[in-house]
Structure 1
Amino acid sequence: MGNKFKNYFNYFVNLICPAFIFGSITGVLTALVITAYKLCAGFVIGYSESGYNFLRSNPYWIALVILAFMGISIFVAYLYKLMPDLKGGGIPTSIGLIRGTLYAKWFLNIIGVFFLSLLSFFIGVPLGNEGPSVQMGTLIGRGSVSPLMRNHRAWNRYSMTGGACAGFSVATGAPVSGIVFALEEAHQSFSPMIMIVASASVMSAHITTEILTLFFSINTRLFHHYELPDFRIRDIWIPLVVGLIVGILAVVILKYYKLISKLINKKLSFIKPKYKIFTVLILTLAAGLCSYSFVSTGHHLIDELLLNSPSFWMLVAILIIRTTLTFSANSCGITGGLFLPIMALGATVSAIAGKGLVLLGVSEEYYTLVVILGITACISGMMKTPFTAIVFAIEALSCSNYILPVIAVACISFVVTEMFDAKSITDLALESTVHNLYHGKKQEVYDTFVKVSPSSFAVGKQIRDILWPKNLFVLSVKSYENEAEVDVHGGKQLKAGDILHVRYSTYDENSTKEELISIVGKQDYDEHIDSVI
């Protein structure tokens, strides 16, 4: 009985308390930063739209704007050379950091992401602010609690997970979606520790944001609440058709992304980054002068499409131009997110589908619901996150009474992309980043044994709860009192003195060793971490 109580006490002190405390600290700090960021982004996007209206009325200023874009391209390319982690979409970078694939200097990168993404919004580049919010939350998690856990650096990736969830929650006003995002997208697995950290971060961030609304004019919701018609079960074919259409187009769009990424990063690799960035800015300027619907984050476009639908050919033009500009900007490394632009693409595709359904005799009152279902299907299909899409639709898109059609459209879209073996846009972007980072380097495979040291991070934790270094697998566990055994489900609780048989592949042996030592404690290099396949 005494040992059982001691185990519970150790579990509470060594796991639950640190997870809750670190998660809460990260959530509060993330809420403060991201709320300020949202306010700034709102002002900047408003000035951007006014700027394009001014240029349409005063075209003689365009030449000066082009000169300014030249200077901006040179400056931004120079910053990207100094800090490569500032490049590209926020969510892929965050996931790379959380999974241990990437590493970034947290403080400088927070400042860089904050201001460079605002610069992108001011120019009108069709990238979103949700991605940078997640990235900054991740970086805040990386640095905010470092002084509290110097002896256990293994907590870093847990607090980064909490920061990413909090950033997503504050940016979208969807706290539950933020928690699901951590389990489904960031780690692609369920763990009690991840759940505790994510929940603590999201709760503290949500409470902090609600307190801030008492002092500042802040809209915590991403979209307005829309009055939707009653859904009749005999109309269940509508979400099935929308899911099929969006799923097929998601496969096409993902292939288009791979094509643009390959063209810019491989075929045109001889062109300097500053010229690529300048080209994207000029194309953005030209598109924005034609219509502001072609540029910017896509939030304003989604609001418009949820209420009114432009002509068919205008929707086709929006789809082609926005897709090309968004993917080109991301492939060039321009700072900004892909989450909101993906939602805008889903809204555009479903608006086209909605027009077609109305022509086939479907009531016009279903139009807004069709657009919302299309957004849900696009998140599910292009990001390969059906559960996040379902929860997000219920939380942020006024679908609390439409769970059945939401589930149907998300599942159909996901199944279609699975049938065509399409990778998520997040994984495609992350793979491109990793390829550019480690291009020309050889990945080594190591097979070795490590011993769990007393007072190390691993003591008292289950194998599945621990965020091991990237591409590391625990093959077996040999207890000091038993023979070696294979822990298939990862549920074995580790004790001091246990010997783990591990195998991992890495580009950087030293950094992987350091991360592994932060989990199991210091080792004798001559005896343990030295076996190479």
Structure 2
Amino acid sequence: MHLKIEDTRLSTLLNSIFIGILIGLIVSTFRLAIEHLLEISQSIYRLASSSWHWLALIVVINIILAVLVGLLVKTSPQISGSGIPQIEGQLSGEYEEKWWPVLWKKFTGGILAIGSGLMLGREGPSIQLGAVVGQGWSETLHYSGSQRRVLIAGGAAAGLSAAFNAPIASTLFVLEEIYHNFSPLVWISALTSAVVSNFVSLNFFGLTPVLAIRYPHSLPLGLYWHLIALGILLGLFGRLYQLCTLNLKKWYQKISFLPRWLHSLVPFITIIPIGILWPSYLGGGNSIITAIANKNPIFMTLFTLLIIRFIFSMVSYGSGLPGGIFLPILTLGAIFGALYVSIMANLNLIDIHYLPNFVIYAMAGYFAAIGKAPFTAILLITEMVGSLQHLMPLAVVALTAYIVLDLLGGEPIYESLLHQLVPTITATPSGPQDRVEIPIVEGSKLDGLAVRNISWPKESLLISIRRGSNSIIPSGDSVIKPGDTLIVTTHRGNRKKIAAHFAKIN
């Protein structure tokens, strides 16, 4: 028996293993540093509640941190925010960044911002850290075009996997939300690097799932109407979150007396009263999620927590500090799910014992709505919780929330943030050659058309049609079929323009 492995796939596997190990070490260190710094910050806030000396120290420390992190963002604006829109833009050809400054500044700035208690997530920075490691390795090997993109996408998956210990969901997130293409080389790279980085991370944090929530009661079928109601509410709440997030930069611009890089002072100062009164509310929120599921808080506690987390996650993210919205979104979803059960239990419409279930369901529904990535949401929560028992209710809530947000005109949040980062798509008729993969879906307007009858954009050339495991060299008489993938070459700067052209007619 003769075993044959294509050179391209073999090199992709080997490179993915290497960057998976490297990213696993970097992101695990990143996680550990944030956790330890957050514990120190919460301890100091508890001391400040009874001593003005500690309060004064916190004010001084937070001002210094705001200036330091603000300077990092000022010198490298690419580290601002979660980093996911930047990676999506880079993979589409709209955006470029130098990998080394982003790597060390995002690492340092993320630890200082998230570890100090601001309501930001570690997952976005982890994804960007992974992507720039992939970029750096590709540049070391002098890769370009699709080879370079494959390693960037694989690095992004590895970063998320090490952050949440969810390799399958991380792979799907890159394909569904960032790369928007199920290219074989991309999913091989993404899955390999995600599994390897997850293995490294497990050696740091153990085998316990990130959100180990125990729920002994399965939801009866007679209560499934609650899933529809919850999904509708999450869709509405998700659209509110989107609108607020997309207007944050505009609202911050009204603080005209501070330069943009010093907007970091706003969250670092305003978080102080929250830290003194409720130190456990600080940080990304994963400890809050497990606490809610295990302790069944009363209605007013949940309502207060929801308002505080919503407002201060906006204040934190809108300042441009390095930190994500991924984990804050899950935290808000968990609180909303618990609040829903609390209300329904008071109305005698559901038993309060189902609160942990709805914490889980609502996390998936809220992320599915805001990110418009229901598959990722279902798999992510399944891996983070560590149980397959809730797949059906997760799917019902996620799909309902997704449909509601779609009817309200919402777009995927990271794609919308990318449009703010790169407002217009412009053609670049020069630069290195690159390729775009156009999947032909069922019902496409291109179905049944001959190549000669298709309107091809300028500066583009169809070089191959991938049909199953075969590659067809096209001619004018070649007929396009559903399931095909068109391989089109163009200049790097035109990739997004070409993809947008076919998205309209596909």
Is 1:325 the counterpart of 2:340? The answer is no
Find the counterpart in structure 1 of residue 171 from structure 2. Answer: 179
CA displacement at 1:95 relative to structure 2? 2.5
Distance 1:462 1:81 in 2: 36
Find the counterpart in structure 2 of residue 314 from structure 1. Answer: 301
Find the counterpart in structure 1 of residue 92 from structure 2. Answer: 99
Find the counterpart in structure 1 of residue 108 from structure 2. Answer: 115
Distance 1:143 1:288 in 2: 38
Find the counterpart in structure 1 of residue 377 from structure 2. Answer: 389
- Which residue of 142, 160, 164 corresponds with 1:168? 160
| Conserved 8 A contact 1:247-1:412 | yes
Distance 1:65 1:243 in 2: 41
Further displaced range: 31-40 or 201-210: 201-210
Matches within 5 A, 1:52-451: 52-148=45-141, 150=142, 152-210=144-202, 213=203, 216=204, 218=206, 221-265=209-253, 267-268=254-255, 271-361=258-348, 362-435=350-423, 444-445=426-427
CA displacement at 1:330 relative to structure 2? 1.4
Question: What is the identity, as a one-letter code, of the residue corresponding to 1:342?
Answer: I
SS in 1 for 2:81: coil
Question: What is the identity, as a one-letter code, of the residue corresponding to 2:493?
Answer: T
Find the counterpart in structure 1 of residue 501 from structure 2. Answer: none
Alpha-carbon spacing, 1:261–1:288, altered in 2? closer, same or farther (3 Å): same
| Conserved 8 A contact 1:477-1:484 | no
| Conserved 8 A contact 2:13-2:188 | yes
Question: What is the identity, as a one-letter code, of the residue corresponding to 1:405?
Answer: P
The share of aligned pairs that are identical, in percent, is 24
Distance 1:472 1:53 in 2: 63
Matches within 5 A, 1:18-37: 18-37=11-30
Is 1:16 the counterpart of 2:5? The answer is no
Distance 1:433 1:185 in 2: 17
Distance 1:372 1:481 in 2: 49
Distance 1:476 1:76 in 2: 46
Distance 1:32 1:207 in 2: 10
Distance 1:332 1:56 in 2: 26
Alpha-carbon spacing, 1:270–1:489, altered in 2? closer, same or farther (3 Å): farther
Find the counterpart in structure 1 of residue 39 from structure 2. Answer: 46
Find the counterpart in structure 1 of residue 443 from structure 2. Answer: none
**CA offset digits 1:112-142 (Å, max 9, x no partner):** 1111111112321100112211111111111
**CA offset digits 1:482-519 (Å, max 9, x no partner):** 4486867684687xxxxx685x8xxxxxx738x99xxx
Distance 2:178 2:37 in 1: 29
CA displacement at 1:151 relative to structure 2? 5.2
Distance 1:274 1:446 in 2: 31
Distance 2:425 2:375 in 1: 34
Alpha-carbon spacing, 1:299–1:86, altered in 2? closer, same or farther (3 Å): same
Gap runs ≥5 in structure 1: 436-441, 466-470, 495-499, 505-510, 517-533
**CA offset digits 1:169-208 (Å, max 9, x no partner):** 1111111101111111112232212111112212222333
Distance 1:337 1:158 in 2: 23
CA displacement at 1:225 relative to structure 2? 4.4
Gap runs ≥5 in structure 2: 441-456, 465-471, 497-506
Question: What is the identity, as a one-letter code, of the residue corresponding to 1:204?
Answer: V
Distance 1:235 1:278 in 2: 47
Distance 2:45 2:207 in 1: 25
Question: What is the identity, as a one-letter code, of the residue corresponding to 1:117?
Answer: G
CA displacement at 1:218 relative to structure 2? 4.0
Alpha-carbon spacing, 1:50–1:390, altered in 2? closer, same or farther (3 Å): same
CA displacement at 1:411 relative to structure 2? 0.3
Alpha-carbon spacing, 1:55–1:13, altered in 2? closer, same or farther (3 Å): same
Alpha-carbon spacing, 1:444–1:393, altered in 2? closer, same or farther (3 Å): closer
Question: What is the identity, as a one-letter code, of the residue corresponding to 2:291?
Answer: E
Question: What is the identity, as a one-letter code, of the residue corresponding to 1:130?
Answer: E
Is 1:512 the counterpart of 2:493? The answer is yes
Distance 1:323 1:472 in 2: 46
Find the counterpart in structure 2 of residue 523 from structure 1. Answer: none
Alpha-carbon spacing, 1:166–1:306, altered in 2? closer, same or farther (3 Å): same
Further displaced range: 163-172 or 323-332: 323-332
Alpha-carbon spacing, 1:229–1:443, altered in 2? closer, same or farther (3 Å): closer
Alpha-carbon spacing, 1:490–1:271, altered in 2? closer, same or farther (3 Å): farther
Alpha-carbon spacing, 1:263–1:488, altered in 2? closer, same or farther (3 Å): farther
CA displacement at 1:217 relative to structure 2? 5.6
Distance 2:334 2:357 in 1: 11
| Conserved 8 A contact 2:167-2:198 | yes
Alpha-carbon spacing, 1:444–1:258, altered in 2? closer, same or farther (3 Å): closer
The RMSD of aligned alpha carbons is: 3.2
SS in 2 for 1:333: coil
**CA offset digits 1:388-421 (Å, max 9, x no partner):** 0111122222441122111100000101100101
CA displacement at 1:242 relative to structure 2? 1.4
| Conserved 8 A contact 2:86-2:95 | yes
Distance 1:359 1:476 in 2: 62
CA displacement at 1:264 relative to structure 2? 1.2
| Conserved 8 A contact 1:261-1:328 | no
Find the counterpart in structure 2 of residue 526 from structure 1. Answer: none
Alpha-carbon spacing, 1:13–1:308, altered in 2? closer, same or farther (3 Å): same
**CA offset digits 1:324-347 (Å, max 9, x no partner):** 221222121111111111111111
CA displacement at 1:22 relative to structure 2? 2.1
**CA offset digits 1:345-401 (Å, max 9, x no partner):** 111111110101212321122111011111111111111110001111222224411
Alpha-carbon spacing, 1:447–1:260, altered in 2? closer, same or farther (3 Å): closer
